[in-house]
Amino acid sequence: MVCVGIKADSFSQLLEEERKIQEQIESLQQQLAINEERRQAALDALLRQKVLELLDFKEADFKQPADVDKVSEKLRQLLTTKKAGTNSTGDSNGYVIRENRNKNRNQDNNLLRLNAPKKLEKNHAVHVSEKTKEALYENIPTDDINRARNSLTVGIQKAYKLTSANLEFDTERNVFVVNDNKTRLGFTQPRTQKIPTLKIDGRQRPTKASMWIVKANLPKLSNKEAIKTDPIGFVEGFTRGHLIARSLFDDRIFKTKNAKRTNLTPQTKWSNGVLQAEIEKEVLEAVKQRDNVRYQVEPLYHSGSEVIPRCYHIQARSRDGKFMLNVVVPNVEPGYKINYVTGTMTPAD
């Protein structure tokens, strides 16, 4: 019988080499950890230096923990300044802000003109008359106007092909004026002049409503019936906003709730009762004076997950072309922030 073995001194040598290798590994790991700490410290120091330079501070300004509050206060001041000043001549959303009280009106001086909406103090309750359903707003603060301006996001402009459009925010009406109020709506005669053409997407969200409004088909009597149909995504706090208003056609022609729902979206009281209501008055007056007016309303969604429109793109033109309208109405509420996915309204800070 033959036995093969390892001499004791050879085995001890192997163990010693293994121990040395393990020590080398541990030493390298420690060195890596030290290098990472140094790298992070250098990065933190550089970041600290740049932030202090940006805020016009020096290291000597910070001698105790309480001094850090100086940074927070300076950041708040910068944020306030940005909110108040970014939209004086333009902003990153690609539109121009102008104090403009005489431009963007229709050519015919006999048509109804849009008056500046009355305004509401921040977080003040909105009072809506049961008779007129018109919201009264006073003293709307800058933050709320900025939310209206920011409602037309870059994503919406890209999705709805508005990136090349000339966009101006009318500070009197609190709506966007598109292409100097000119529109390219066609004159294709609809199948019926009594009912709108309505479109929805795969999520059942209304995406477009259009109609050829004729004076003879205007409602003879105002429809005072309560709206009982909830639009897709509706939650309490919103109104049931019509894309084509009941003042422009008799919606009782719809026989089912599903049909009515395609003409409704969740809309804030300010957007529905003030901003869009004034647009609809102008369109109604144009119909009475010019008879045939092509009218189209397109809800604008920022993403596929949102069920509440951020804005409404409204266009109109008369057959003779002397009346034109092309605006985007924000769907915001003064004093509140809106989650357009869930419909949650929370008081603005």
Model pLDDT, residue 287: 93
Q: Please state, in angstroms and rounded to a whole number, the distance separating the CA atoms of residues 310 and 302.
A: 7
Alpha helices (H) along the chain: 8-54, 69-85, 142-149, 154-159, 257-261, 269-270, 277-290
**Residue 259 token pair:** 């049909």
Model pLDDT, residue 301: 98
Model confidence at 53, pLDDT cuts 50, 70, 90, reads: confident
> 65 pLDDT exceeds 50?
yes
Model pLDDT, residue 268: 97
Model pLDDT, residue 14: 84
Q: 186 vs 4, 210, 254, 320, 321, CA distance in Å?
A: 99, 11, 26, 12, 11
Q: What is the dihedral of CA 276, 277, 278, 280, to 10 degrees?
A: 90
Model confidence at 208, pLDDT cuts 50, 70, 90, reads: very high
Summarised one tens digit per residue, pLDDT across range 149-187 is: 999 999 999 999 999 999 999 988 999 999 999 998 887
Summarised one tens digit per residue, pLDDT across range 236-292 is: 999 999 999 999 988 777 767 788 899 999 999 999 999 999 999 999 999 999 888
DSSP β-bridge partners for residue 199: 208
> 228 pLDDT exceeds 80?
yes
Residue linked to tokens 């949102």: 306
Model pLDDT, residue 3: 52
Q: What's the whole-number average pLDDT of the chain?
A: 80
Spelled out in words, what is the top-level CATH class assigned to the domain 81-347?
alpha beta
Q: Please state, in angstroms and rounded to a whole number, the distance separating the CA atoms of residues 27 and 22.
A: 9
Model pLDDT, residue 83: 46
Average the pLDDT over 309-329 and give the result. 95
Model pLDDT, residue 193: 66
Summarised one tens digit per residue, pLDDT across range 291-312 is: 889 999 999 999 999 999 999 9
Antiparallel, parallel or unpaired: β 239-242 and 96-98: unpaired
DSSP β-bridge partners for residue 208: 199
Q: Which amino acid appears at position 68 of this protein?
A: V
Model pLDDT, residue 308: 97
Alpha helices (H) along 113-178: 142-149, 154-159
Model pLDDT, residue 131: 42
Model pLDDT, residue 232: 94
Q: Please state, in angstroms and rounded to a whole number, the distance separating the CA atoms of residues 297 and 124.
A: 30
Summarised one tens digit per residue, pLDDT across range 89-144 is: 444 566 655 444 444 344 343 333 333 333 333 333 344 444 434 445 767 888 89
Average the pLDDT over 192-217 and give the result. 89
Average the pLDDT over 202-231 and give the result. 87
Element spanning 264, H or E: strand 264-267
Q: Please state, in angstroms and rounded to a whole number, the distance separating the CA atoms of residues 302 and 174.
A: 19
